[in-house]
Chain A
Amino acid sequence: MRMPGKMLPKIVGFVFKKPATVLYPKERLTPPKDLRGKMKFHKDRCISCGACARDCPSGACTMQPKSDGKKRPEFDLDFCTFCAQCAESCPKDAIEMTAEFELAHYRRGEAVVKE
């Protein structure tokens, strides 16, 4: 058999190699710059047109009535697929995608992006 000899340098190499995983909460890998994470909503730029809610493929973005009588979007991250279509549909760039990916919550319905 020829293979064990061929694989041996690799096997020995792995012994001295650092593990690929990191001790997560203490150490963190930096995500790529353009990662599609949690969105940021700029209330001042919103014109309440509803384009984001119309194009949302998963029903995560809905128009909710606010105290000033206008409707503005709310993003339920439990439904969100992070496709960023809302940010693309927005005519005023009021929605911005960030690289924030730590979205775990204790209760359902807590992961909502409001203004």
Chain B
Amino acid sequence: MEVFLQQLINGITLGSIYGLIAIGYTMVFGIIGMVNFSHGDVFMTSAFFALIFLLVLTTVFGMSSMILALIIVLIIAMVLTSLLSWAIERIAYRPLRGSFRLAPLISAIGMSIVLSNFVQVAQGPRNKPIPPMFTGGFEVMNANNFAVTLSYKQLMIWVVTAVLLAAFWYIVQKTPLGRAQRACEQDRKMAALLGVNVDRTISLTFVMGAALAAVAGTLYLSYYGVVNFSDGFVPGVKAFTAAVLGGIGSLPGAVIGGLLIGLIETFWSGYFSIDYKDVAAFSILAIVLIFMPQGLLGRPEVEKV
């Protein structure tokens, strides 16, 4: 029971991070039907933005309030990562839109290689540890000498994720931008004929996905306290798994999928073996795709004859 509760807490935390990344995958896939392979590395780069500005704020400016520093870092990381994603879309994907189907995928894989190697070259190949930001937490339960704790970090991750998801939900559901997005998703040509600026809408989709990935990146850095140039791939693939599990194209699906993947991973590590936790995640991806390719909340694809 104690282990269960602790893993539940850990799983939700990890799942929040996956969910935030997964939204970027699901939105881009929904609107242009492309697996944005570089999204995991965009997430990794955002963690580096966060790392750099955190260091600047604490060591150069000597800022002492961790909360304030984190808020500033979060905003900077979101802005810069959005810019990065916008630039990538502009340079590597837009010229290929509407051409050969594999071309954007290869371009995205290339971009993913570029990003991780660029960060390696620019920032060095070593792990980048930061001093722990928030220590301590609430002791939720204590039985048989096993303390179930909800750390402040975890609580912060829950709160930030919930607040930003709510804001994001509002944008997608209630604003003209969200409406344009949904229109482009349904029929890009028709949307363009009706005066929707399709290029701009697609760019903004990339930007929104990247902003949420930046939130995930910042939270990831503060949670694990370390980041490396190669940290984009595995969380990226897991977040994509989450998006597929939830039903690709569905926003609530991405969040639910993210939480599920996080929970599966932590429970697997907690109860079985930590060695095979990634095997578990990938197996779930394969099983879900094979038996219910539409995911939990996705629409089934009807084969048109």
Decide if A and B are genuine partners. Answer: no
Which A residues form the contact surface with B (CB < 8 A)?
none
